Structure 1
């Protein structure tokens, strides 16, 4: 790109075309794309979003379509309410859909096909010598995460040096080298800090490569996002719960500025460019307490309302009796109250609901609520084994009484699952409740496997979180529709960057680039 980078960034209302890599359902792009100038134009318009997984890509493209409008048409809301088909929606707005198609690419980055297509797109964008870029994205984390590394150790003949997932970040580097963006943001799991390949630290190599992405060892300056003193790379280990996210999600987020731009930035920290922590934690109650009650499903046998009510009563009675025998008197009392409540119900809650509900925390509500919605999408429960209903009821009641989720050692013996390692200490929190008055634990893609780590805090519902509840804990707006089947939706939500956190990072980047006061 033939461009004088020593010149000031474009004068009035600068825009930074944004390249979103390994995009998932679009959490980072959602945060960045919502930031606007006073005239309503986007500071970070999305130029390209790239994702390989089909259902996540479908979600990504639909959101790209949504962004084509200053105000989404009512037919969009009809679509997410299931009243019209996607083909009918596209037929009504073909130009906007065409632009969304142009903006999104379903490609596996790092493959020859993807390289050819992406490079052609970048060449087209770079033909405008006045264009400045921002690159965002999170290379896949399976090889870095603690769970992924434990799984890899169990694979016979596994060699980290031959696992291409360790090196997908290099495709991110390659695109930095080609596009020379004004800034970049790279997100990854905390496990990246301790991951090693061939005895060498991954994070050390990543940082070295990021700094040198412009051709010299110091082409990019890496800046801390938080004024933090704990652990390795402390300025870039972001604890989401500190920034108004109702979830304890700890991720490495690396911010880089091109050298010529960084030279004009006041010294950090203390310059006002860091993320600003929230005044109080935002909790599970703030995000989901007012959502419609649902009953769980029964995964085996019949699943009528009457059958579920009988199974739930039996589960709560079993749990109460087991607690009484083992000294959990307060929990037993709470469970007996649940039994009374369940017996008194003339109508059992449904398995799904589209009822629009409030969000209790004002900042969260202003970000996620949409008064034009006709329904709340993606809010339906999954099925569970009857034996798990008693464990869910116990765990939720315990959390209400004790203010925390129970450990395996605190489960009554009669409720212990027949897991070989249950007493080993390796699965101390195999059943984990998301407590009302705390931020949730990290929403991960594992939520798609089973609900044991994501138990709803109301013991009378005996279920795990729905996709929409998980999406609220991730701060996806209620009008953000997830395509695919429920399992695929869970994976998308669990893999995403919280959009409200991404918005705050975008504000930091915009200030550093002189695009926001």
Structure 2
């Protein structure tokens, strides 16, 4: 029997995808996701679809799914073809809000899924915006009244009430430095996780031991930090991940094994080149009263996208930028081939988009998928097109992305129309992803604009597509994200990289198997078997 998993704050299912990807020597899944709880409607739709696919043997998705990916059938038609599998998926993926949905209802669903199992796993990442350094900077700190600060207690309550053998909890790096009322939040969370029964005394919960996944010798809080690029993930994503083991289990887990770093170009360089689209053009700005003071009002002109207009503008910008580089005595070796297409939600292809020799080829690749899903570009402000082009050219030449002083140096018009543009706060406002290194962290901010996620190829002159972001996050190529492109970006940015979760699942599986083996030995020793 597979080990049961309950997934809280599930997002689009990154942790669940990693755990459910682990198979035994008979190609049977080692873990079974029994319940995934997520409040966001679009992420919940994504969870339901992926759960539906897990009702089939690994690697044997129904043909109708590929017709759906190719936009030749509707998702409702897919579900109608397989009502039993859809019913099971609907039971597994539950749209509910921890902290608002009645605890009795949540406990009932979990108890129903777990039954009498003793050895099962709780996974999840409580919302982290309140702890993130970017979030704290925006609002000026962390506040008691922000309910997100306390959402980890919803996770803790379920530990106390249902007592999994093992839990895996993920959160942002900012958690390590976050303080509330002068007290370090991380120290408080660690202490609560060790003694959940003291926070919820009616539960009579056992204590837990909290382990690092990167070292056996914990000397500081930073030892709980996982640097994803050290484990083959093509992204410098640094996250706190805690592994808890119930106190009656006298066994310790293993740690992650470092892997060779994976550069960005090796995972997205083979995807079909697509250009950015034209969206609108900045015309002017003026200071106007807003009732309580004054604000800057910007005027834009909407544009209709076409390759002819796009290429005309980009060629013009290219000439201006090459001239600016030459004035600075910088040689520019740039002979671009501009792609004509802005991409598609499904883009048919005839060749592999990642090398069969790549160590992650089997993870990404699906031989039945003869196309690329979610590979369409955004439309951009024309002034941003020039900034993106400059930034990617600059990064190609100097092997680092430019700061605001560099934008001014190469052209006044490259500076954004923002009063704080050169204050120092916006130095990394436009960030090119360097091809021969792991990418920087993909966050949910990618749903708002692409300024932090500029493609390294100047000829494409754009930010990343959803599929490129999903590749960086190590979602398989057949993973479909429901909702609009903005909602897809949001889901991808909020997820745990499935490939990293898969490596963690190996550690958890090994621990649970040792627990079971030890239990069997005890039964034989006492003659109870």
> Fold match, TM over 0.5?
yes
Larger displacement relative to structure 2 (287-296 or 33-42): 33-42
Rounded to whole Å, the distance in 1 between the matches of 2:126 and 2:453 is 25
Matched with 1:513 is: 512
Contact 1:133/1:179 (8 A) holds in 2: no
Matched with 1:308 is: 310
* Secondary structure at 2:503 match in 1: helix
The equivalences for 1:75-94 within 5 A come to 75-94=64-83
Matched with 1:8 is: none
With over 3 angstroms needed to count, the CA separation of the structure-2 counterparts of 1:96 and 1:295, relative to structure 1, is: same
Matched with 2:299 is: none
Of 125, 128, 140, the residue aligned with 2:127 is 140
Matched with 2:384 is: 388
With over 3 angstroms needed to count, the CA separation of the structure-2 counterparts of 1:328 and 1:386, relative to structure 1, is: farther
Matched with 2:400 is: 404
With over 3 angstroms needed to count, the CA separation of the structure-2 counterparts of 1:218 and 1:386, relative to structure 1, is: same
After TM superposition, give the deviation of residue 105 of structure 1 in Å.
0.6
Matched with 2:189 is: 206
Rounded to whole Å, the distance in 2 between the matches of 1:432 and 1:229 is 36
Task: Confirm or deny that 1:174 pairs with 2:154.
Answer: no
Q: Deviations over 1:446-472 (max 9, x none)?
A: 111111100001001110000000000
Q: Which runs of 5+ in 1 are unaligned?
A: 1-13
Matched with 1:61 is: 48
After TM superposition, give the deviation of residue 149 of structure 1 in Å.
0.9
With over 3 angstroms needed to count, the CA separation of the structure-2 counterparts of 1:372 and 1:114, relative to structure 1, is: farther
| Higher normalized strand content (fraction of residues) | 2
Q: Deviations over 1:285-329 (max 9, x none)?
A: 11100100101000021211111111111121222223233x161
The equivalences for 1:234-245 within 5 A come to 234-245=222-233
The equivalences for 1:322-337 within 5 A come to 322-325=324-327, 327=328, 329-330=330-331, 333-335=332-334, 337=335
Q: Deviations over 1:240-281 (max 9, x none)?
A: 0000000000000000111122x133xx7xxxx110000x21
After TM superposition, give the deviation of residue 40 of structure 1 in Å.
3.2
With over 3 angstroms needed to count, the CA separation of the structure-2 counterparts of 1:229 and 1:438, relative to structure 1, is: farther
Matched with 2:276 is: 296
With over 3 angstroms needed to count, the CA separation of the structure-2 counterparts of 1:328 and 1:94, relative to structure 1, is: farther
After TM superposition, give the deviation of residue 479 of structure 1 in Å.
0.3
Rounded to whole Å, the distance in 1 between the matches of 2:228 and 2:217 is 16
Matched with 1:6 is: none
TM-score under structure 2 normalisation? 0.87
Larger displacement relative to structure 2 (132-141 or 221-230): 221-230
* Secondary structure at 1:513 match in 2: helix
With over 3 angstroms needed to count, the CA separation of the structure-2 counterparts of 1:425 and 1:473, relative to structure 1, is: same
With over 3 angstroms needed to count, the CA separation of the structure-2 counterparts of 1:182 and 1:69, relative to structure 1, is: same
Matched with 1:34 is: 21
Matched with 2:298 is: none
After TM superposition, give the deviation of residue 349 of structure 1 in Å.
3.5
Matched with 1:287 is: 267
Rounded to whole Å, the distance in 2 between the matches of 1:299 and 1:186 is 40
After TM superposition, give the deviation of residue 200 of structure 1 in Å.
1.2
Rounded to whole Å, the distance in 1 between the matches of 2:165 and 2:216 is 25
Matched with 1:479 is: 478
With over 3 angstroms needed to count, the CA separation of the structure-2 counterparts of 1:392 and 1:370, relative to structure 1, is: same
* Secondary structure at 1:417 match in 2: coil
Larger displacement relative to structure 2 (170-179 or 31-40): 31-40
After TM superposition, give the deviation of residue 232 of structure 1 in Å.
4.2
Rounded to whole Å, the distance in 1 between the matches of 2:438 and 2:397 is 17
* Secondary structure at 1:256 match in 2: strand
After TM superposition, give the deviation of residue 425 of structure 1 in Å.
1.2
Of 140, 143, 146, the residue aligned with 1:153 is 140
Task: Confirm or deny that 1:190 pairs with 2:173.
Answer: yes
Contact 1:81/1:374 (8 A) holds in 2: no
Rounded to whole Å, the distance in 1 between the matches of 2:11 and 2:102 is 16
Task: Confirm or deny that 1:23 pairs with 2:10.
Answer: yes
Rounded to whole Å, the distance in 1 between the matches of 2:216 and 2:416 is 41
* Secondary structure at 1:377 match in 2: strand
Aligned length: 480
* Secondary structure at 1:260 match in 2: coil
The equivalences for 1:313-392 within 5 A come to 313-325=315-327, 327=328, 329-330=330-331, 333-335=332-334, 337-338=335-336, 341-342=337-338, 348-352=340-344, 354-356=347-349, 357-360=352-355, 362-392=358-388
Contact 1:315/1:387 (8 A) holds in 2: no
Alpha-carbon RMSD across the aligned residues, in angstroms, is 2.1
Matched with 2:212 is: 224
After TM superposition, give the deviation of residue 197 of structure 1 in Å.
1.3
Matched with 2:520 is: none
TM-score under structure 1 normalisation? 0.89
With over 3 angstroms needed to count, the CA separation of the structure-2 counterparts of 1:480 and 1:231, relative to structure 1, is: farther
Of 99, 104, 107, the residue aligned with 2:93 is 104
* Secondary structure at 1:475 match in 2: coil
Rounded to whole Å, the distance in 2 between the matches of 1:43 and 1:176 is 22
Rounded to whole Å, the distance in 1 between the matches of 2:17 and 2:197 is 27
Matched with 2:466 is: 467
Rounded to whole Å, the distance in 1 between the matches of 2:313 and 2:239 is 40
After TM superposition, give the deviation of residue 374 of structure 1 in Å.
3.5
Q: Deviations over 1:148-193 (max 9, x none)?
A: 1112228xxxx71111100000000011111110100000000011
Q: Deviations over 1:10-63 (max 9, x none)?
A: xxxx63210000000000000011112223332220010010011111111100
